[in-house]
Structure 1
Amino acid sequence: MKVLIAYYSAYGHIHKMAEAVAMGVGEIDNAEAVLRRVPETLPRDVLEKMGALEAQKAMAHIPVCTVAELAEADAVIFGTPTRFGNMCGQMRQFLDATGQLWANGALVGKVGSVFTSSNTQHGGQESTLLSFHITLLHHGFVIVGLPYTFQGQMRIDEITGGSPYGASTIAGVSGERMPSRNELDAARFQGRHVAAIAARLAA
């Protein structure tokens, strides 16, 4: 059973979360986690001005995702940073190229899930996850979130991401904060949870 983790990460925060998601997927028997980056749309000089080149190099070993790979997977877990309360432009452009899959019903019945990041604690994480779900519903995905059985999302002793809609992390205004242990645990839990449900559906 293949679980595709398709994500965009500019500075490495979503990449770290994606690795944790993959670890969770791997905890389910016969589940294979496949990490893929969605295509970059920004030119190199813009990425350099953004200070994102170093992080991009660190992720260069992850292959770029193709639209066809979505149809080959049993489940797809998408990762996107928040851009004004919505998915990033790179992810939007990637999904906008899935019209043929929609026309063929190629993704109907697959498990879909989403995780995200934002600069600030209230920077639109939940709206990003929920608005992403709209696209998944149009494709016929069976949407899976992060249930409250992951009790780390109920912590009040520290600032942390995570909601019933999916795992998330807070990056800081300058991207200085990497995912906390609790946020990585949430991502890992979500990966395991999605893979377990996908395995039941496959059976």
Structure 2
Amino acid sequence: MATKVYIVYYSMYGHVEKLAEEIKKGAASVEGVEAQLWQVPETLSDDVLTKMSVPPKSDVPIITPNQLSEADGFIFGFPTRFGMMAAQFKAFFDATGGLWRTQQLAGKPAGIFYSTGSQGGGQETTALTAITQLVHHGMIFVPIGYTFGAGMFEMEKVKGGSPYGAGTYAGDGSRSPSELELQQAFHQGKYIATIALKLKGGAA
């Protein structure tokens, strides 16, 4: 049976979704791994989203909290709001009380990726504060460390991400993830999928 890795994300303007798509490719490149994209529910009304000029959501399916128990590993992604995860994703985690009570997610590996507006916008604080969600569920936080190699030390080009996970800078919203950021996202997907496979007892 394939090792299931769920890439679960919230994306408002598309930056996180682009990273998620690349992370899925990386995870799916590992033999024996089945990678699937999921979105968490939107909490804002259509009227508010229209006023914010938010584009329509993609056709990636919406996940329910109980569906998390079906996966063997996770990579969670979200934009930053004031240095922490967006409220939409926090609301999703807040709805996982049933899973928490039975510790159905305990022992499963989980990674984190994110998008911020600027270099000081929370590339590390977002990941640090999000780890508490994983800890209470007993999940195993899997950072990428410096396994991305030379790409971690890029100084000439703007690059999001950190040892905590892949990331991108949205700027005023007009900037899209760079090729280097997408490569880091692919690496994260492959790296965590390999670990999930090993933990399940497979061979990478």
TM-score (norm 2): 0.95
Deviation at 1:147, TM superposition (A): 2.2
The answer to whether 1:162 aligns with 2:161 is: yes
- Distance in 2 of aligned mates of 1:156 and 1:137: 33
User: How far does the alpha carbon of each residue in 1:16-39 deviate from its partner, in whole angstroms, 9 at most, with x for none?
Assistant: 000000000011111111101000
Unaligned runs of 5+ in 1: none
Unaligned runs of 5+ in 2: none
- Distance in 1 of aligned mates of 2:145 and 2:124: 14
- Distance in 2 of aligned mates of 1:142 and 1:149: 18
Quick check: 1:136–1:143 contact (8 Å CA) kept in 2? Answer: yes
What code does the residue aligned with 1:85 have?
A: G
Quick check: 1:111–1:194 contact (8 Å CA) kept in 2? Answer: yes
Percent identity between matched residues is: 47
How many residues align? The count is 198
Quick check: 1:108–1:139 contact (8 Å CA) kept in 2? Answer: yes
Name the SS of the counterpart of 1:21 in structure 2: helix
RMSD: 0.8
The answer to whether 1:69 aligns with 2:71 is: no
What code does the residue aligned with 1:170 have?
A: Y
In structure 1, the partner of 2:52 is 50
Tell me which of 175, 178, 181 is aligned to 1:180.
178
- Distance in 2 of aligned mates of 1:32 and 1:69: 15
The answer to whether 1:78 aligns with 2:76 is: yes
In structure 2, the partner of 1:3 is 5
Tell me which of 71, 86, 89 is aligned to 1:88.
86
- Distance in 1 of aligned mates of 2:164 and 2:87: 21
- Distance in 2 of aligned mates of 1:26 and 1:154: 26
